[in-house]
Amino acid sequence: MESLQKLFACCFLLINIYVLVGAQDGVHYAWQTRLLDDLLSNYHKGVPPSANGPPGPGMTVDLQFSLVNFDFIDEDNEVASVHGWLFQTWNDPRLKWEPAAYNGTESLKMAANDVWLPDIEMFNTGTVVENVEADVMVDSTGKVLRVPSVQITFICKMDLKFFPYDNQVCQLKFGSWHYHAGVVNLTQSNDNIDLSYHGQSRDFELTNTSAKRNAVKYECCPEKYVDITYTLHLKRVSSAYSVKLVLPAALTGFLILATFLLPPASYEKITLCGLIFIALLLQLIYLHDIVPASGDTILGDYFAFALFIDFFATIIAVVSYHVHVRSSPKMQQHSSIMMKEMEGDDGDLRMKMPQDRKREFLRYVDFVSFVIFGIAFVVGLAIILGHRG
């Protein structure tokens, strides 16, 4: 019997707690509804908070960009895309209230469509797409906070000179599209991009960031317009390209010099030069596929120079082989006559045949070509690198 009474007592206590909490929630909801009605009764969201204020600096909008992810860089069209959060903080005196008058309510969430919002836009030919329609948080002092999650696509000029060891600099320029500094004065609480939630990209490594406030006076208007420019310094992740492109290019170039180490006047030299030419062309096509046609790179100049060297190496090999083949029958005939004249002579007598002299001459040509082409190869690369640097 006593256990049954305790059970009823516990149930009664839980019911009272539930009713009390529900009543408090209902009261709190009623006070928030009343507060919203009072704040928005004479509120015009098309008018900025500083419109009725005294002349001078406009209302301050603090802007902070938090980078979440660097999505991609389209090198063909010179377009980049990032995902992040755009923190916007400002003070709207029309949204102030006394917490004691509204049951101690200190903050309030309001729909973004109900209040004035700063018209922050991208200046450098970009688009900002909000992934989620972000509401605003307002406290009793009139401070407004809005944090939309944004997908930003913008123009990023590419410098592919040192591809695949290139560094890129991209900028995101935000500002008020309609209001000058006397109405909306942009500021930044941090001289850098917030990277607290940033994850590294697969293709580019973020090496440095910066933020700068600019006040610019344009020809159209006497007032100054303020913008915040965020700069991203990116370094390409080049380990894959080193294995797939740079190393084969270097080894193929050195094979050109190796052709002069083969025996003189051998047709294998012609075959090797032809294979090297084809290999360089295939690598050049691969480079063209991954780099835009407008991208002028040191690696592309290297392939063009290597093709030029291989072409002349092939010409030298063909001429040497042609000279050797044409002179061989005459040499053989002359050699047989001399052998007949030497019949009966001492077997230790040794004479240098014309064919041997021809081979020595061709070896000399190969050696000189090796030296000249080696010097040309080194000097040419130095000129290319010096010109590009």
Give me 88's structure tokens: 């916007």
- Residue 20, pLDDT > 60, answer no
Cis peptide before 222 (omega within 30 of 0): no
pLDDT of amino acid 342: 47
d(CA 210, CA 194): 10
- Residue 335: CATH number of its domain: 1.20.58.390
Give me 246's structure tokens: 């740079």
pLDDT of amino acid 169: 92
- Residue 18, pLDDT > 60, answer no
Q: Is residue 292 part of a domain?
A: yes
What range defines the domain where residue 220 resides? 59-237
d(CA 31, CA 211): 42
Domain count, the chain: 2
Same domain, 262 and 375: yes
Residue 247 sits at the vertex; the CA angle it makes with 243 and 250, to the nearest 5 degrees, is 165
Structural domain ending residue among the three candidates 237, 272, 296: 237
Same domain, 124 and 88: yes
Same domain, 219 and 108: yes
Q: What is the pLDDT of residues 285-339, one digit of tens each?
A: 888 888 876 668 888 888 888 888 888 888 888 877 777 666 655 444 444 444 4
Q: What number of other Cβ atoms are within 10 A of residue 330's Cβ?
A: 11
d(CA 27, CA 22): 8
pLDDT band at 74 (very low <50, low <70, confident <90, very high): confident
Q: What number of other Cβ atoms are within 10 A of residue 1's Cβ?
A: 5
Alpha carbon distances (Å) from 181 to 44, 117, 215: 21, 16, 8
pLDDT of amino acid 31: 72
DSSP conformational letter for 199 = B
Structural domain ending residue among the three candidates 237, 272, 303: 237
- Residue 162: CATH number of its domain: 2.70.170.10
Q: Is residue 7 part of a domain?
A: no
pLDDT of amino acid 305: 84
Structural domain ending residue among the three candidates 191, 209, 237: 237
d(CA 77, CA 180): 32
Same domain, 192 and 102: yes
pLDDT of amino acid 354: 53
The pTM (predicted TM-score) of the whole model is 0.73
- Residue 38, pLDDT > 60, answer yes
Q: What is the pLDDT of residues 103-151, one digit of tens each?
A: 888 888 888 888 998 888 888 876 777 766 678 999 989 899 999 888 8
- Residue 22, pLDDT > 60, answer no
d(CA 352, CA 358): 11
d(CA 135, CA 144): 10
Q: What is the pLDDT of residues 336-373, one digit of tens each?
A: 444 444 444 444 444 444 555 656 666 766 677 777 77
Give the least confident one: 173-182, 201-210, 224-233, 256-265: 256-265
Task: Please name which of 87, 72, 67 lies closest in space to residue 198, comparing C-alpha atoms.
Answer: 67
Same domain, 276 and 231: no
pLDDT of amino acid 25: 43
pLDDT of amino acid 24: 43
d(CA 232, CA 210): 7
Contact 168, 234 (CB under 8 A): yes
Same domain, 198 and 153: yes
pLDDT band at 263 (very low <50, low <70, confident <90, very high): confident
Q: Is residue 5 part of a domain?
A: no
Same domain, 220 and 337: no
Which residue has better confidence, 3 or 153? Answer: 153
- Residue 238, pLDDT > 70, answer yes
Same domain, 335 and 303: yes
Q: Provide mean pLDDT across the span 31-35.
A: 80
Q: Is residue 96 part of a domain?
A: yes
Same domain, 203 and 251: no
pLDDT of amino acid 331: 45
- Residue 381, pLDDT > 70, answer no
- Residue 10, pLDDT > 80, answer no
Same domain, 139 and 120: yes
Query: The sheet that has 204-217: what strands, in order across it?
Result: 120-122, 167-176, 224-236, 204-217
Q: Provide mean pLDDT across the span 32-42.
A: 84
28: exposed, middle or buried (Cβ count in 10 Å: 0-12, 13-18, 19+):
middle
Q: Is residue 52 part of a domain?
A: no
Q: Is residue 312 part of a domain?
A: yes
Quote the mean pLDDT of the chain. 77
Q: Is residue 218 part of a domain?
A: yes
pLDDT of amino acid 36: 86
pLDDT of amino acid 144: 92
Same domain, 274 and 369: yes
Q: CA 282, 285, 286, 289: dihedral to nearest 10 degrees?
A: -160
pLDDT of amino acid 204: 87
d(CA 389, CA 378): 16
d(CA 278, CA 364): 28
Q: Is residue 322 part of a domain?
A: yes
Same domain, 230 and 305: no
Task: Please name which of 226, 244, 282 lies closest in space to residue 63, comparing C-alpha atoms.
Answer: 226
The position carrying tokens 């007032």 is 223
